[in-house]
Chain A
Amino acid sequence: GQQVMQIPQYQHVQEGEDFTTYCNSSTTLSNIQWYKQRPGGHPVFLIQLVKSGEVKKQKRLTFQFGEAKKNSSLHITATQTTDVGTYFCASGAGSYQLTFGKGTKLSVIP
């Protein structure tokens, strides 16, 4: 599967601040999926991006797929304590298996 690198590994933000996590690959990705894992929970599928330059929004969350399909980002506007968790990107170009990034662990300080 494709190797995807996620940065940062950890992010601490004050409630109300914005947050962004990035997912990068050295090769072209066929798709990118984003998952959220709450503390003590299991990963939950958020969204999938397939097209070059694609942008999708879910309330305060904005997902982007780069023009070259080698990177993606997840941006959260005005974080809330309910946003706490680890955000993973995953891709499976050229294979059946999904390879997950190591995740970005988000802490929100009330």
Chain B
Amino acid sequence: DSGVTQTPKHLITATGQRVTLRCSPRSGDLSVYWYQQSLDQGLQFLIQYYNGEERAKGNILERFSAQQFPDLHSELNLSSLELGDSALYFCASSVEGGRNSPLHFGNGTRLTVT
């Protein structure tokens, strides 16, 4: 158990809809990352937060947004969903968010867009 909690585990929704994925980091970790993993694909970095502030942005679509709240949990919002958004979305956390900080991943949210 990594200590990172992601909800829900599974989401099935229709094209055009909006969903929210939730992540609670490990106790003591200040930084949260979001990654997208499509079938047989690697981990695509979406966005990183550190102590409530956006720290780094990857290939995140404009239809996607995220935030980290004062209690350090994070939410990833995906809107105007398309079939291609179907993927496994991982949240990870680290203590300080620097490049030498190991990431601890949650179990992921599997999103299916129909």
Which A positions have Cβ atoms within 8 angstroms of B? Answer: 1, 30-31, 33, 35, 41-45, 48, 50, 88, 90-103, 105
Q: Is B25 an interface residue (CB 8 A)?
A: no
Query: What are 12 A-B contacts with C-beta separation under 8 Å?
Result: A30-B100, A42-B2, A43-B105, A45-B102, A45-B103, A90-B103, A93-B99, A94-B99, A96-B99, A97-B58, A97-B99, A102-B42
Distance (whole angstroms) from the CB of B62 to the closest CB of chain A: 19
Cβ contact within 8 Å between A88 and B58: no
Find residues 50-69 in chain B having any chain A CB closer than 8 Å to their own CB: 50, 55-56, 58
How many chain B residues touch the partner (CB < 8 A)?
26
Given contacts A42-B90, A45-B102, contact A100 B45 (CB under 8 A): yes
CA distance A43 to B42 in the complex (A): 11
Interface string of B24-59 (1 = CB under 8 A from A): 000000000101000011110100101000011010
Instruction: Judge whether B74 is part of the interface by a CB distance below 8 angstroms.
Output: no
